[in-house]
Structure formats: C-alpha cells, structure tokens
Amino acid sequence: MPELPEVEVVRVGLDGAVVGAAVSAVDVLDERSLRRFDGPAEEFIEQLTGRRLGHPHRRGKFLWLPLDDVPLALVGHLGMSGQLLLRRIDDPLPRHLRVSLHLDTVSRGAMRLDFVDQRVFGSLALDELVPASDARERSDPLIPRAVVHIARDPLDPLFDDDAFVAALRRKRTGIKRALLDQTLVSGVGNIYADEALWAVKLHYDRPAESLSRTTANELLAVLRAVFAKALVEGGTSFDDQYLNVNGQAGSFVHSLNAYGRQGEPCPRCGGPIVRESFMNRGSHFCPRCQRPI
C-alpha cells in the first residue's frame, strides 16, 4: 500500500536513474490510467515524447518529474496498487502494465519505465507546474496544479508543526479521519494512521478537537518516527502490491504493531488487537491501550 514511505522509496529510486533521460517512446496500454490527464492519450504521448525528465519531486503520495523546456511535469499517483518499475528495454512486459515509457538514460542506456497498476486507482498525467500556495520562498519548487491543495507532509522541512496542531484541534471529526485528510497533513494512509494511533494510544474515533496541544504534538512526533522507520526499511509490502523501482518488496510489514494484526497480541499490553470497519476501511487497534474519549 503506497503511502509516504513507499512513494519516497520510489522517488529516490527514480532519482539518478532517470534524471536527464529522454523519453523516446510512450505506450499507453490502458487509457484508464490517464484519467487524471486533461486530454486524450494521443496528446499525452505527443507532449511527453522527446522531452527530458528532471529530478523527481514528491508531496504526500504524489510524485512528479518536471519536463525540460516546458512548464509541465509527469505526475504519478500509485493509488492502491501502482508500481513504477525500471526495466531493461527488452524485459518481458509485466502483468497489469498500463503505461510504458521508453527512455534513453544518461548512465544506463535504453530503459523502460513501466507503470503497473492492478486496481487502476493510480494514474499518470501531464500537468502544469505552478507556484505552491504555501510556498515560503521564491526558490520553492513549483508543483503540479493538481497537487496544489495537498498539504506538506511531516518529513517536509517546511512543515509547520504549530499550524498543523492548531488546524487538527479545530477539526470536528475523529482523529483518524483528520489524519487521512491530505489537505491537513499529507502522506498518511490507512496503515500509518493505525500505526501512529497505536503508538500514541489514541482511539481512531477520538474527536480531534478533544486533543490537548501536548497530545497533538506527540501524535505528530510519533507519525514522523513511524514514517522514518518505515522509510529505512523500504516501506510496507502486502502481497507484492507495493514494490520499489527495482521490483523489490519493503520489510516494514514485520515492524507493524497494529495494522493487519487482528487477533494477535498487542505488543505493548498483550491484549488482542481488534479490527473494526470504519470509513469503509479496516481500523486496527488495541481496545485496552486505545480507549475512546
């Protein structure tokens, strides 16, 4: 499940390998993967072919590569099951391949960048680069228009802790809903929301406005720690739904304390972890450690 750590692993994996690479050809095998692109597939192909790719950027779960000479970026979102795989040009085509870019890379010759996505919740697009609405300095990088409403993530050096804590405590909703709101804080998905709430002993439906400043700051600190540890371990891979650009799984699944561990003992108190349906998702928590209100 690609959340912040997984997308960052992909970003780092792309950096270096694709910077300066020229797009020599584009194959769109499934137009549904271009649903966020404002135009037909032919236009996507035409605008991308012949361009060179710049350093990959990320905000939350969105990833983009600026194109040379034009104020456009190739924007990717992995959705539930998306993968960006760097393959040799003559490697066999993987199952669920939706879009494939042929690249003339600087250091590795002819390569393919394959966008693979079983469930088609992810997407590729070309989008105009505009100044960020929360830019602090004129030197701040431009971001795709479709990403302007996404908040910074907790690992962003310009993330504003005080503003986040204040905004969180104004939310009239449950704490997990608030964490999953990408306009409040980005990069958090179901797995890391459950892990952070377990670590700070908060019930998923605890009203956000009931959190003290101290607790809200602890939650933020825990979120950063979970993200950082998951990043070091290469992210969380379930059923190979998430793989890095070289097709390798991450190992953070072995460090999960709550997510996916229903019926197993809570690593802190030994009581059973419970899974409840909430927001059309599974919420995993320890009823003994994480009490509502």
Partner DNA sequence: CTTTCGCCCTGAGTGC
Partner DNA sequence: TGCACTCAGGGCGAAA
281 is catalytic: yes
Angstrom distance (rounded) from CA 190 to CA 188: 7
Helix residue spans in the chain (DSSP H): 4-14, 41-48, 161-168, 175-180, 190-199, 213-232
229 is catalytic: no
Count Cβ atoms within 10 A of the Cβ of residue 256 and give its class: 0-12 exposed, 13-18 middle, 19 or more buried: buried
- Between 18 and 147, name the residue whose CB sits nearer to DNA: 147
Angstrom distance (rounded) from CA 76 to CA 165: 29
Residue type, 147: V
Given the residues 108, 169, 281, 288, select the one marked as catalytic. Answer: 281
Regarding 201 and contact with DNA (CB under 7 A), the answer is: no
Given the residues 52, 61, 176, 206, select the one marked as catalytic. Answer: 61
Task: Give how many residues touch DNA by CB under 7 A.
Answer: 37
Return the ∠ at Cα 191 (arms to 189 and 194), rounded to 5°: 100
Instruction: Determine the interface stretch with DNA among 11-19, 60-68, 106-114, 228-236 (rule: CB under 7 A).
Output: 60-68
- Classified as helix, coil or strand, 197 is helix
176 is catalytic: no
Of 157-176, binders to DNA (CB under 7 A) are 170-174
- Between 50 and 79, name the residue whose CB sits nearer to DNA: 79
Among 60, 76, 234, 235, which residue interacts with DNA (rule: CB under 7 A)?
60
- Between 100 and 182, name the residue whose CB sits nearer to DNA: 182
Regarding 1 and contact with DNA (CB under 7 A), the answer is: yes
Contacts with 46 (C-beta within 8 Å, 6 or more apart), sequence order: none
Residue type, 205: D
Residue 86 pairs in a beta bridge with 113
- Between 104 and 160, name the residue whose CB sits nearer to DNA: 160
Return the ∠ at Cα 72 (arms to 12 and 150), rounded to 5°: 65
157 is catalytic: no
Among 62, 164, 198, 227, which residue interacts with DNA (rule: CB under 7 A)?
62
Where on the chain is the footprint of DNA (CB under 7 A)? 1, 3, 32, 36, 60-62, 77, 79-81, 95-96, 118-121, 146, 149, 170-174, 177, 180, 182, 189-191, 239, 275, 277, 279-282
Q: Which residues are catalytic?
A: 2-3, 61, 281
